[in-house]
Amino acid sequence: MIVNETLKVIKQRRSIRNFKDEQIKDEQLQAILEAGMYAPNAGKQPWHFTAVQNKDMLVRLNQAAKETAKGIEHLKEKAYDEEYDCLYGAPTLIIVSGNEQVPVPLEADCAAATQNMLLAAESLGLGSCWIYFVILAFDSPQGDQLRKELKIPDGYKPYYSAIIGYKQDETIHIPDRKPNMVTYIK
């Protein structure tokens, strides 16, 4: 089996939902954002990244998302749980928005950028988790105001997000992969 640093990072990355109460360094954030900018795309680079490190804004996004989730059957339990934080106390949130005028697989391009950022975070020793729940904030009554405050450009829709921070625990269990998930036709 071939092994190199990139393959090691891919295999060891796990979704982290328990973070230290410490902000990541600016250099780390810049490296992660740059990794997102180098994601594969259809040549249009149709994304915009919003890095949120303001605690008050993170709380507002969580509350707005929970308000929207109250109307979604499978999310109601979390929505009504006052203790639930869809950002898991992470100090940094990156929202990936896509230019809706681009006539290509926009969501795939934004997903590739998100994955690049998750892998970059792992390579820097940081924890990360792909979070959809917080995107519900933009469907809340405060959604338009939040877009303005977060300076999301007109014509861009928030598709994905990632939380990033220092891992509370360094030991993470990596489960075995399911067998028989590949078919070879040679």
For tokens 């950022």, name the residue.
117
- Sign of the alpha-carbon dihedral angle for 76, 78, 66, 120: negative
As a whole number, the mean pLDDT across the chain is: 95
- The answer to the question of residue 110 being in a domain is yes
- The answer to the question of residue 180 being in a domain is no
Please give the pLDDT value at position 106. 87
The more confident residue out of 105 and 82 is: 82
pLDDT tens digits for range 114-160: 999 999 999 999 999 999 999 999 999 999 999 999 999 999 999 99
pTM of the model: 0.94
Quick one: average pLDDT of 156-175?
A: 90
Supply the range of the domain harboring residue 146. Answer: 12-166
CA distances from 175 to 18, 127, 179, 180 (A): 18, 17, 12, 16
- The answer to the question of residue 127 being in a domain is yes
How far is the C-alpha of 32 from the C-alpha of 185, rounded, in Å?
Answer: 37
Quick one: average pLDDT of 48-59?
A: 98
The more confident residue out of 174 and 178 is: 178
- pLDDT exceeds cutoff 80 at 88: yes
- The answer to the question of residue 55 being in a domain is yes
- pLDDT exceeds cutoff 90 at 169: no
- pLDDT exceeds cutoff 80 at 166: yes
- The answer to the question of residue 181 being in a domain is no
The pair of three-digit structure tokens given for residue 149, joined into one six-digit string: 């405050």
Number of independent structural domains in the chain: 1
The pair of three-digit structure tokens given for residue 122, joined into one six-digit string: 């792992």
Phi/psi for 130 (5° steps) reads -75, 120
The pair of three-digit structure tokens given for residue 140, joined into one six-digit string: 């809340």
Q: Which residues neighbour 105 within 8 Å (Cβ) at sequence distance 6 or greater? A: 42
- The answer to the question of residue 176 being in a domain is no
What three-state secondary structure class fits 119? helix
Please give the pLDDT value at position 43. 84
- The answer to the question of residue 184 being in a domain is no
**Measuring CA to CA, which residue among 52, 136, 151, 153 is closest to residue 99?**
153
CATH of the domain at 145: 3.40.109.10
- pLDDT exceeds cutoff 90 at 5: yes
> Do residues 9 and 123 lie in contact, with contact meaning Cβ atoms separated by under 8 Å?
yes
- Note the residue count of the chain: 186
What three-state secondary structure class fits 134? helix
- The answer to the question of residue 29 being in a domain is yes
